[in-house]
Amino acid sequence: MIEYRNLRIALLGGGAVGAQVARILLEQGEELADRVGAGLELIGIAVRDVNAPRSVDLPQELFTTDAESLILGADVVIELIGGIEPARSYILQAITSGADVVTANKALLAAHGPELFAAADQVGAQLNYEAAVAGAIPIVRPLRDSLAGDTVKRILGIVNGTTNFILDRMDQAGDSLQEALDTATTLGYAEADPTADIEGYDAAQKAALLARLAFHTDVPLESVYREGITGITREQIESARKAGYVVKLLAICERLTDAATGQEGVSARVYPALVSRGHPLAAVHGGNNAVFVEAEAAGPLMFYGAGAGGVQTASAVLGDLVSLARRHVVGGPGFAAAANADLPVRDIGQVITRYAVTLEVNDEPGVLATIARVFSNHHVSLALVEQSTNVRAVLVDGGDGPELAPSTATLVIGTHEATEAALAATVRDLAAHSVVTTVASVLRVEGA
Amino acid sequence: MIEYRNLRIALLGGGAVGAQVARILLEQGEELADRVGAGLELIGIAVRDVNAPRSVDLPQELFTTDAESLILGADVVIELIGGIEPARSYILQAITSGADVVTANKALLAAHGPELFAAADQVGAQLNYEAAVAGAIPIVRPLRDSLAGDTVKRILGIVNGTTNFILDRMDQAGDSLQEALDTATTLGYAEADPTADIEGYDAAQKAALLARLAFHTDVPLESVYREGITGITREQIESARKAGYVVKLLAICERLTDAATGQEGVSARVYPALVSRGHPLAAVHGGNNAVFVEAEAAGPLMFYGAGAGGVQTASAVLGDLVSLARRHVVGGPGFAAAANADLPVRDIGQVITRYAVTLEVNDEPGVLATIARVFSNHHVSLALVEQSTNVRAVLVDGGDGPELAPSTATLVIGTHEATEAALAATVRDLAAHSVVTTVASVLRVEGA
């Protein structure tokens, strides 16, 4: 057996991920030491309550409530407590005291990434965060290193397992959103308060991180356009299926060229979108995640795996740890994702995509031409229109005795590419138009 | 504009990949320089014939036939000439003269990897080879770094685009092997001499590299068991489809525990296998590649993309270049894939998998029991048996005037897990048995 000098590892957080990281470090320390060329000594686990129950049986003497002292004695700090504070202060303290850092904290990085990356850069510390972006799926190194000589054009990511589980369930079992959410909660795919997932906040944080990696540009979380899945109905899923599509909540990062100036910019956004069933993303079922990357030279690439789960996420954390421990042993700084390109971040209005609009209209002569004119007024051109008449047997009593309600028609309209701004103006006009009863659904179509 | 010091890049080879690498270096040099923190100056392209036609228009003055002088003046050497010699000597010369190296040469690495990695390690040079393993798909960094803290249990890779195109075509269009190969040749998916692809040599080289990365163990090319796809028939594909399977040529790398001693070992092998249509690998169509990784903590992961093509492969080469150029700028050695685990490489006979065996047998009473006994003699247990009778109207003249030939039956037998050795012995006995007319097909079943 080879004797190595030890790297002292401080773990902040003893939750589902932290407990698994500790377990694997303790169980496989010797093998990991061989890979690193140094021992990985877990010197302590900082938690709020040392007596709280844990998902894994760990030596009681490792637990402490004194995170700051633990950090001071560490070569590497693994931050798994989540949230903004005290996580941010702990990471800054670790960097200042000369430690390298591994974190899985997407909320913190999306909100304070530039500050933390700059602090690490300044002292040559490493700050690794693979687990923050897509759980167990290795995506940071592929984007930062493997594609460093290529130009990423677009990323379409299914980066939230809860919403993918719900949408997949609605698609496969015909559940309503509420039914699917209930199942997700029962099976542990959704938390008691599912807001961060179903409203797209979690996906938006990951979109900001992905965009930074892909475009070498800081993308503030505030500039990530976000829509959740709470408006998605069984009817939308059903009619998507009939048309050969599936609804997925996508985190989209895209390089955009301004039509007027020709200047490059980037967009990061999250919304539920129609994806063709032939697209590799359509085959991502249940709580799985996948990141589909379109690069100029490499072409389409996809990275698929578990987006969450304690032991799965622990894999990404330990990969980060072993990588930076190797670097710690041989010397030389780490690489943050450079933000040197510094491209302007575009407003959602400038985004160009295709749309599927479902309208309920009065079934009267010339209605199609009228509707088509609304689209063309805003230079949105139509790719496909499907009309079906809804015969209504409802009787309306207008005061002059009962009479037959005017029958309505459902129009499903697919557009060619248009800007969000043009589409929004079109929808505003449609909603106000006298022949339109309801704008029943507006969904974007992604992944041509 | 920032002025950087230049890294001098020597390119060996001006073929499909080399020409694209040169083009992108020349076109996007400034942006790449910003990412690296140093200029990337292409100082020359060594080729056999400076006047040969190129797929990309490049400055004539870059071309030279004097590779050795070019290497002497370089900080980084990109080797894209392929084959064993002179590629091996050039790479060793580059390492000795203090340059870092990028190569896409799978044949060379599979045959002489340990020598080259050791040479690089000795002087602290970097030797990157992402393009050698799965074309444009980033797989080296995920396996070497992202999963460095995890334990890879198994890899199932579709790593040869030509054979995947052919098998996919047989499956989707009902082509025979020859028809599909002809189409592949016409469309440029197969070379004039397709032997390296269809006999599995190319996949075997990649399996050796993947196994080294995944198991930190040198796996000599000679120890990679290899079967190509030349024996695959339209009938096998068709009956696989009926049973819910698709035939894929898989490169399989697996951690194996010896049943008797409990000692860990590894297996690397290539053969066409049945994959369930529900498995993510079944959805890999055409010339695409995918590497499916089963890791202990991370669970199943899949990496998907283009496995070949000049510009696609150039993406991987440039990613390697930018990564090592960054390291060159900030200092510190690179990491070869450590082979420190040094696990024993197992013979194919020790491999355990499931099998689908198709037999033609005489249709007589008790035949099923007889066949079942042959399997159980070798401790191979059956999971499924399907029998269909083939009524024959053929007349046989045995000398005593024409008589009706005995009718035969087709048996499709699915086994539980068994060793290759046990299965091979079973098949040997079956072939020699009086009731068996033909052993029509033996295929392994992978990806449970």
What is d(CA A239, CA A413) in angstroms, rounded to the nearest whole number?
12
Burial class (CB within 10 angstroms; exposed 0-12, middle 13-18, buried 19+) of A82 = middle
Cβ(A15)–Cβ(A49) under 8 Å?
A: no
Using the beta-carbon criterion (under 8 Å), do A297 and B136 form an inter-chain contact? yes
Residue A356 has pLDDT above 90, yes or no: yes
**DSSP letters spanning A379-397:** TPPEEEEEEEEE----EEE
B150 and B298 co-located in one domain = yes
3-class state of residue A125 by DSSP: coil
What is d(CA A400, CA B305) in angstroms, rounded to the nearest whole number?
68
B75 and B151 co-located in one domain = no
Query: Can you count the helices (H) and strands (E) in chain A?
Result: 15, 19
A156 and A237 co-located in one domain = yes
Cβ(B181)–Cβ(B312) under 8 Å?
A: no
What is d(CA A399, CA B365) in angstroms, rounded to the nearest whole number?
85
| Closest by Cβ to A331, choosing from B20, B299, B332 | B332
pLDDT at residue A408, rounded to an integer: 86
Within 8 A of B321 by CB-CB distance, chain A residues are 149
What is d(CA B76, CA B35) in angstroms, rounded to the nearest whole number?
17
Within 8 A of A314 by CB-CB distance, chain B residues are 297
For residues A19-48, give the mean pLDDT.
91
Residue B394 has pLDDT above 60, yes or no: no
Instruction: Tell me the per-residue pLDDT of A315-333, one tens digit each, with 9 for 90 and over.
Output: 999 999 998 888 777 766 5
Residue A392 has pLDDT above 60, yes or no: no
Residue B50 has pLDDT above 70, yes or no: yes
Backbone phi, psi, residue B328, to 5°: -60, -40
Selected for mutation to probe chain B from A30, A213, A315 (highest B CB count within 10 Å) is A315
For residues A414-443, give the mean pLDDT.
94
A200 and A261 co-located in one domain = yes
What is d(CA B3, CA B7) in angstroms, rounded to the nearest whole number?
12
Chain B, nearest residue to A213 by Cα: B35
Selected for mutation to probe chain A from B17, B27, B141 (highest A CB count within 10 Å) is B141
Within 8 A of B332 by CB-CB distance, chain A residues are 327, 330-333
A120 and A155 co-located in one domain = no
User: In sequence order, what are the beta bridge partners of A42?
Assistant: A9
Other CB atoms within 10 A of residue A77 CB: 27
How many distinct structural domains can be found in chain A?
Answer: 3
Cβ(B9)–Cβ(A132) under 8 Å?
A: no
Size of chain B in residues: 448
| Closest by Cβ to A147, choosing from B295, B315, B331 | B315
Helix (H) or strand (E) holding A361: strand A352-362
Active-site residue, A153 included: no
Using the beta-carbon criterion (under 8 Å), do B147 and A312 form an inter-chain contact? no
Q: Distance of alpha carbon B42 from its chain centroid, rounded?
A: 31
* A273 to chain B, closest Cα gap in Å: 22
Query: Which range, of A9-18, B225-234, B360-369, B394-403, averages the lowest pLDDT?
Result: B394-403
Using the beta-carbon criterion (under 8 Å), do B315 and A321 form an inter-chain contact? no
pLDDT bin (cut points 50, 70, 90) of residue B225 is very high
Burial class (CB within 10 angstroms; exposed 0-12, middle 13-18, buried 19+) of B27 = exposed
Cβ(B305)–Cβ(A302) under 8 Å?
A: yes
pLDDT at residue A272, rounded to an integer: 97
Residue A397 has pLDDT above 80, yes or no: no
Quick check: is B339 in a domain?
no
User: In sequence order, what are the beta bridge partners of A155?
Assistant: A253, A293
Within 8 A of A156 by CB-CB distance, chain B residues are none
B188 and B288 co-located in one domain = yes
Quick check: is B14 in a domain?
yes
B435 and B370 co-located in one domain = yes
**B44 assigned ligand-binding residue:** no
Rounded (10°) CA dihedral B21, B22, B27, B31: 60
pLDDT bin (cut points 50, 70, 90) of residue B405 is low
Closest C-alpha to B279, from B261, B292, B260? B292
Residue A394 has pLDDT above 60, yes or no: no
Contacts from B323-326 at CB under 8 Å and sequence distance 24+?
B323/A145, B323/A146, B323/A148, B323/B128, B324/B76, B324/B100, B324/B102, B324/B126, B324/B128, B325/B7, B325/B36, B325/B38, B325/B40, B325/B76, B326/A148, B326/A335, B326/B35, B326/B36, B326/B37
User: In sequence order, what are the beta bridge partners of B293?
Assistant: B155, B301
Using the beta-carbon criterion (under 8 Å), do A340 and B314 form an inter-chain contact? no
Selected for mutation to probe chain B from A27, A141, A213 (highest B CB count within 10 Å) is A141
What is d(CA B335, CA B128) in angstroms, rounded to the nearest whole number?
9
pLDDT at residue B329, rounded to an integer: 77
CATH number for position B161:
3.30.360.10
For residues A99-126, give the mean pLDDT.
93
Backbone phi, psi, residue A72, to 5°: -60, -30
Both structure tokens of A44: 């302590």
Quick check: is A336 in a domain?
no
Closest C-alpha to B138, from A150, A130, A318, A133? A150
3-class state of residue B437 by DSSP: strand
Instruction: Tell me the per-residue pLDDT of A133-151, one tens digit each, with 9 for 90 and over.
Output: 999 999 998 998 889 889 9
Indicate left, alpha or beta for A37 from its phi (over 0: left) and psi (-120 to 50: alpha).
left
Quick check: is B254 in a domain?
yes
Both structure tokens of B231: 């024996």
| Closest by Cβ to A147, choosing from B295, B303, B319 | B319
- C-alpha distances (whole Å) from A291 to each of A135, A155, A157, A281, A446 are 11, 7, 4, 8, 14
Backbone phi, psi, residue B296, to 5°: -60, -50
Residues of A at the annotated binding site for L-homoserine? 191
Residues of A at the annotated binding site? 12-19, 106, 191
What is d(CA A76, CA A7) in angstroms, rounded to the nearest whole number?
7
Q: Whole domain around residue B367: which residue ranges?
A: 351-446
Residue B5 has pLDDT above 80, yes or no: no
Biggest alpha carbon–alpha carbon distance for chain A: 98
* A434 to chain B, closest Cα gap in Å: 47
Using the beta-carbon criterion (under 8 Å), do A318 and B150 form an inter-chain contact? yes
Residue B439 has pLDDT above 60, yes or no: yes
Quick check: is B77 in a domain?
yes
Q: Is the dihedral of CA B430, B236, B161, B84 positive or negative?
A: positive
What is d(CA B112, CA B287) in angstroms, rounded to the nearest whole number?
28
CATH number for position B104:
3.40.50.720
Using the beta-carbon criterion (under 8 Å), do B315 and A330 form an inter-chain contact? no
Token match 């951690």: residue? Answer: B255
* B412 to chain A, closest Cα gap in Å: 30
Using the beta-carbon criterion (under 8 Å), do B141 and A137 form an inter-chain contact? no
Using the beta-carbon criterion (under 8 Å), do B141 and A136 form an inter-chain contact? no
pLDDT at residue A33, rounded to an integer: 87
| Closest by Cβ to A299, choosing from B136, B142, B333 | B136
pLDDT bin (cut points 50, 70, 90) of residue A276 is very high
Residue A361 has pLDDT above 60, yes or no: yes
Chain A, nearest residue to B217 by Cα: A35
pLDDT at residue B342, rounded to an integer: 79
Within 8 A of A304 by CB-CB distance, chain B residues are 280, 301-304
Backbone phi, psi, residue B185, to 5°: -65, -45
Q: List, in order, residues 6 or more apart from B122 with CB less than 8 Å away.
A: none
Alpha helices in B4-103 (DSSP H): 16-27, 29-36, 67-72, 87-96
What is d(CA B428, CA B440) in angstroms, rounded to the nearest whole number?
13
Q: Distance of alpha carbon B147 from its chain centroid, rounded?
A: 20
Q: Is the dihedral of CA B439, B422, B446, B415 positive or negative?
A: positive
Instruction: Tell me the per-residue pLDDT of B64-91, one tens digit each, with 9 for 90 and over.
Output: 999 999 999 999 999 999 999 999 999 9
Using the beta-carbon criterion (under 8 Å), do A146 and B146 form an inter-chain contact? no
Using the beta-carbon criterion (under 8 Å), do A149 and B24 form an inter-chain contact? yes
Residues of A at the annotated binding site for NADPH? 106
Quick check: is B405 in a domain?
yes
Using the beta-carbon criterion (under 8 Å), do A306 and B320 form an inter-chain contact? no
Within 8 A of A136 by CB-CB distance, chain B residues are 295, 297-299, 301
pLDDT at residue B181, rounded to an integer: 97
**DSSP letters spanning A79-113:** E-S-SSTTHHHHHHHHHHTT-EEEE--HHHHHHHH
What is d(CA A269, CA B400) in angstroms, rounded to the nearest whole number?
84
Using the beta-carbon criterion (under 8 Å), do B298 and A304 form an inter-chain contact? no
Backbone phi, psi, residue B228, to 5°: -90, -165
Within 8 A of A125 by CB-CB distance, chain B residues are none
The alpha carbons of chain B give a radius of gyration, in whole angstroms, of 26
Give the amino acid at B250: L
**pLDDT above 70 coverage of chain A, percent:** 93
The ipTM value here is 0.87
Instruction: Tell me the per-residue pLDDT of B327-365, one tens digit each, with 9 for 90 and over.
Output: 777 765 555 555 667 788 888 888 999 999 999 999 888
What is d(CA B34, CA A148) in angstroms, rounded to the nearest whole number?
11
What is d(CA A10, CA B64) in angstroms, rounded to the nearest whole number?
55
Q: Which residues of B are catalytic?
A: 206
For residues A73-95, give the mean pLDDT.
96
Residue B164 has pLDDT above 70, yes or no: yes
Closest C-alpha to B293, from B391, B425, B146? B146
Give the amino acid at A202: D
3-class state of residue B370 by DSSP: helix
Cβ(B71)–Cβ(B77) under 8 Å?
A: yes
B205 and B229 co-located in one domain = yes
CATH number for position A367:
3.30.70.260
Pairing between strand A299-306 and B299-306? Answer: antiparallel
Query: Any idea what DSSP says for residue B410?
Result: E
Backbone phi, psi, residue B125, to 5°: -85, 155
Residues of A at the annotated binding site for NADP(+)? 12-19
Domain stops at, among A330, A362, A396: A330
Within 8 A of A42 by CB-CB distance, chain B residues are none
Residue B397 has pLDDT above 80, yes or no: no
Closest C-alpha to B205, from B142, B255, B264, B135? B135
A160 and A264 co-located in one domain = yes
For residues A298-309, give the mean pLDDT.
92
pLDDT at residue B268, rounded to an integer: 96
User: In sequence order, what are the beta bridge partners of B444?
Assistant: B273, B355
A318 and A287 co-located in one domain = no
pLDDT at residue B398, rounded to an integer: 59
Rounded to the nearest integer, the mean pLDDT of chain B is 91
**DSSP letters spanning A162-224:** HHHHHHHHHHHH---HHHHHHHHHHTTSS-SS-HHHHTTHHHHHHHHHHHHHHHTS---GGGS
pLDDT at residue A335, rounded to an integer: 56
Quick check: is A338 in a domain?
no
Selected for mutation to probe chain A from B140, B145, B151, B343 (highest A CB count within 10 Å) is B145
Chain A, nearest residue to B299 by Cα: A312
Closest C-alpha to A236, from A155, A186, A171, A286? A171
B43 and B74 co-located in one domain = yes
3-class state of residue A305 by DSSP: strand
A101 and A175 co-located in one domain = no
**DSSP letters spanning B291-329:** EEEEETTTEEEEEEEE---HHHHHHHHHHHHHHHHHHHH
Both structure tokens of A286: 């249940």
pLDDT at residue A332, rounded to an integer: 60
Quick check: is B341 in a domain?
no
Domain stops at, among A272, A306, A340: A306
Biggest alpha carbon–alpha carbon distance for chain B: 98
Within 8 A of A24 by CB-CB distance, chain B residues are 149, 297
Residue B150 has pLDDT above 60, yes or no: yes
